[in-house]
């Protein structure tokens, strides 16, 4: 998609459709809408008179314009309450318009970016705009018979209401936005794959292919090696499946000192989670092909990092396994010795994510990282607590927790800080082993985090439970339903901001 800055006057913008955000309760009696209305012989007012648009987010009105502008179509897009307008809104508007353009076979559009408070951050707005445009039309149609599909070819942005807009700033933001979107889309594609297509070995093959193509170091440990590494927890989860477990390690060295402590990012890579012997109910079991959403985010982030080349060292760690029941499955009541030496009593084979992460997090600590961030579709309890809108944010370090939370706000991804008091660790004490893999009846997402905390030692660590945010059940204006690539934007923002310090 061609994405670029346009500086022309309204009547001189050479695209097929002008795209104009409309705020709630706004009327074409002043400002941009009035100007546009005058230019187009009153068509804008007639749309308002016919109550075709109210400004609600996601709403659209489609109008053919009289001959007074180069563009012959106008798409009005609801932009919500003007009080809530920020650097994320133009991207949502653009994505909404793109859907309509694809349907109507309109090739080129230009969003008139508004700036009602005259305080818009041009760089972040452009970056989020680019990410939204590049991610909007990615659907779950990879395996559908292709009816001839139409994809728009260009989306421009024109800061009509802003005073100073530097081309270099906009161009840099577009370049970065494109790369981040490519990383997120790579993650979405992996997450969409059926469990039988993307098994651990195939997952590793794809991550290796991506790594080699982008100059990243790639290593993958097979079951033999995992045995010597004493990763009993990871191996136990894979024991019911014919597919062997894999531990992928991807390295990016951008810091001046290649031996400088890396940021470690770790992702849960359960390629299919049937629950194992504690088998899940049939209803939504198919969704568990996305139980490698955290791992996909790590892979997508490494791709973006390889292209952006920040001056920092990053190590991506992906434990991958398939959780199935069979005669060779691990069982409730089993005691596993994790690579760290801690023993774990298995209470529920469906609480498998924390087991594979136990070994992966321990491996991360052996790499002497400055911090560890893990992402996992870990608990249904997280979905109950926060739904699909926000991920749950846990940490053993207040400053890192704040840093990640702030990065997520700048990246336009939502999360919510959760407690992790020592008392929660009491809930995973076992009678027979050091800890057990299930807490009590309540606080499911928190006790899962408390379990992970046992494997990071003193290293500053953040855990994101992305069970709700990795997959959308319904379309949103800026994101089609299905896999979201949640986390790539935040991680990239976090890594780049660490380089600026
Ligand atoms: N992969 C699931 C969690 C999940 C649920 C992810 C919904 C995405 C959407 C995880 O492995 C799991 O099964 N968790 C159990 C934990 C329980 C056994 C302690 C759960 O949440 O029910
Ligand atoms: Zn499970
Ligand atoms: Zn799982």
Question: What would the DSSP string read from start to end of 264-328?
Answer: EEEE-EEEEE--TTSPPPSTTGGGGGGTTHHHHHHHHHHHHHHHH--SSEEEEEEEEEEE--STT
Q: Is the CB of 291 under 6 A from ligand 1?
A: yes
pLDDT of amino acid 68: 84
Nearest CA to ligand 1 atom 3: 379
pLDDT (0 to 100) of residue 259: 97
Among 380, 388, 428, which is best to mutate for testing ligand 1, by the most ligand atoms less than 8 A from CB? 380
Ligand 1 atom at minimal distance to the Cα of residue 439:
19
Are 270 and 323 in contact, with CB atoms under 8 Å apart? yes
Of the residues 293, 378, 435, 438, which should be mutated to test ligand 1's pocket, given the most ligand atoms within 8 Å of the CB?
378
SS3 content of the chain, % helix, strand, coil (to 5): 40, 20, 40
Query: Number of helices (H) and strands (E), helices first, in the chain?
Result: 15, 20
Q: Evaluate whether 308 touches 179 at the Cβ level (below 8 Å).
A: yes
Nearest residue CA, atom 19 of ligand 1?
Answer: 351
Q: Is 273's C-beta closer than 6 angstroms to any atom of ligand 1? A: yes
Q: In what order do the strands lie in the sheet with 2-5?
A: 2-5, 154-158, 108-112, 17-22, 73-78, 60-64
pLDDT of the residue at 278: 98
Q: Which of 174, 184, 75, 83 is nearest to 122 (CA)?
A: 174
**Ligand 1 site, residue 352, Cβ cutoff 6 A:** yes
**What pLDDT score does 500 carry?**
80
Atom of ligand 1 nearest to the CA of 288: 1
Beta bridge partners of 372: 264, 461
Q: Tell me phi and psi for residue 61, to 5 degrees.
A: -135, 135
Tell me which residue has its CA closest to atom 14 in ligand 1: 379
Any atom of ligand 1 within 6 Å of the Cβ of 116: no
What is the set of active-site residues?
Answer: 280, 354
Centroid of ligand 3 to alpha carbon of 216 (angstroms): 28
Listed in sequence order, the DSSP H helices in 137-276 are 167-192, 200-213, 223-228, 232-238
Task: Outline where 418-477 has alpha helix (H).
Answer: 422-426, 444-453
Q: Give the N- to C-terminal CA distance of the chain in Å, as an integer.
A: 33
DSSP H or E segment with residue 130: helix 122-136
User: Going along 371-476, which residue ranges are E strands?
Assistant: 371-376, 391-395, 415-417, 435-436, 461-465, 471-472
At residue 163, the pLDDT reads 82
Q: Is the CB of 332 under 6 A from ligand 1?
A: no
| 3/133 Cα distance (integer angstroms) | 8
Furthest-apart CA atoms within the chain: distance in Å: 80
- Nearest CA owner, ligand 1 atom 5: 380
For residues 260 and 165, the answer to whether their CB atoms sit within 8 Å is no
Q: Can you tell me the distance from the alpha carbon of 16 to that of 12, in angstroms, rounded to the nearest whole number?
A: 12
Q: How far is the CA of 265 from the centre of ligand 1 (A)?
A: 21
Q: Do 92 and 477 contact (CB within 8 A), yes or no?
A: yes
Query: CA gyration radius for the chain?
Result: 24
20 lines ligand 1 (CB under 6 A): no
Distance, CA of 319 to CA of 196 (rounded, Å): 17
Pocket lining: 465 vs ligand 1, CB cutoff 6 Å: no
Three-state DSSP class for residue 112? strand
Q: How far apart are CA 181 and CA 300, in angstroms?
A: 9
Contact in structure between 468 and 380 (CB atoms under 8 Å) = no
Cβ distance 76 to 53 under 8 Å?
yes
In this prediction, the residues of the chain whose per-residue pLDDT falls under 50 are: none
Of 379, 382, 387, 447, the one to substitute when testing ligand 1's pocket (max ligand atoms within 8 A of C-beta) is 379
Q: Can you tell me the distance from the alpha carbon of 326 to that of 427, in angstroms, rounded to the nearest whole number?
A: 30
Q: What span, in angstroms and rounded, lies between the C-alpha atoms of 429 and 431?
A: 7
Please identify, by atom number, the ligand 1 atom nearest to the C-alpha of residue 438: 19
Exposed/middle/buried for residue 474 (C-beta within 10 Å: 0-12, 13-18, 19+) = exposed
CA–CA–CA angle 368, 211, 296 (5° rounding): 80
Asked if 286 contacts 195 with a C-beta cutoff of 8 angstroms, the reply is no
pLDDT tens figures, 212-271:
999 999 999 999 999 999 999 999 999 999 999 999 999 999 999 999 999 999 999 999
Contact 380 CB / ligand 1 (< 6 Å): yes
Ligand 1 lined by 353 (C-beta under 6 Å): yes
The answer to whether residues 335 and 343 touch, using CB atoms and an 8 Å cutoff, is yes
């Amino acid at each position: 998609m061609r994405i670029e800055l346009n500086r022309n006057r309204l009547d001189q913008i050479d695209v097929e459709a002008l795209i104009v955000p409309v705020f709630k309760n706004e009327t074409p009696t002043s400002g941009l809408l009035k100007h546009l209305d005058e230019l187009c012989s009153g068509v804008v007012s007639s749309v308002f008179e016919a109550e075709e648009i109210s400004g609600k987010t996601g709403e659209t009105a489609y109008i053919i314009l009289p001959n007074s502008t180069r563009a012959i179509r106008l798409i009005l897009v609801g932009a919500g309450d003007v009080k809530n307008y920020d650097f994320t809104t133009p991207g949502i508007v653009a994505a909404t318009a793109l859907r309509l353009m694809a349907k109507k076979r309109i090739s080129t559009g230009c969003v008139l970016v508004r700036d009602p408070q005259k305080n818009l951050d041009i760089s972040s707005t452009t970056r989020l705009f680019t990410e939204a445009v590049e991610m909007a039309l990615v659907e779950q149609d990879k395996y559908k018979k292709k009816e001839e599909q139409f994809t728009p070819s260009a989306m421009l942005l024109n800061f009509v209401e802003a005073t100073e807009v530097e081309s270099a700033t906009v161009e840099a933001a577009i370049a970065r936005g494109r790369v981040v979107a490519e990383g997120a889309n790579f993650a979405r594609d992996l997450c969409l794959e059926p469990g039988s297509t993307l098994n651990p070995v195939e997952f590793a093959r794809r991550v290796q292919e991506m790594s080699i193509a982008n100059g990243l170091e790639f290593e993958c440990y097979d079951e033999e090696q995992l045995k010597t590494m004493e990763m009993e927890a990871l191996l136990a989860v894979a024991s019911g499946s014919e597919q062997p477990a894999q531990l992928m390690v991807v390295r990016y060295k951008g810091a001046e000192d290649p031996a400088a402590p890396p940021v470690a990012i770790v992702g849960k890579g359960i390629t299919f989670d049937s629950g194992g012997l504690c088998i899940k109910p049939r209803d939504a079991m198919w969704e568990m092909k996305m139980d490698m959403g955290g791992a996909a985010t790590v892979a997508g982030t490494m791709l973006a990092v390889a292209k952006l080349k920040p001056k920092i060292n990053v190590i991506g760690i992906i434990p991958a396994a398939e959780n199935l029941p069979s005669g060779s499955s691990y069982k409730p009541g089993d005691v596993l010795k994790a690579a760290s030496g801690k023993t774990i009593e298995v209470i529920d084979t469906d609480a498998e994510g924390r087991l594979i992460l136990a070994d992966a997090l321990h491996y991360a600590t052996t790499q002497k990282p400055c911090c560890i961030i893990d992402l996992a579709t870990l608990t249904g309890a997280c979905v109950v607590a926060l739904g699909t809108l926000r991920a749950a944010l846990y940490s053993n370090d207040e400053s890192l927790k704040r840093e990640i939370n702030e990065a997520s706000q700048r990246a336009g991804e939502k999360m919510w800080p959760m407690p992790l008091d020592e008392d929660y660790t009491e809930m995973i004490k076992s009678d027979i082993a050091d800890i057990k893999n299930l807490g009590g009846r309540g606080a499911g997402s928190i006790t899962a985090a408390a379990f992970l905390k046992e494997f990071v030692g003193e290293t500053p660590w953040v855990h994101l439970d992305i069970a709700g945010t990795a997959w959308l059940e319904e379309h949103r204006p800026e994101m089609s339903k299905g896999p979201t690539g949640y986390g790539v934007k935040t991680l990239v923002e976090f890594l780049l901001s660490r380089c600026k310090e």
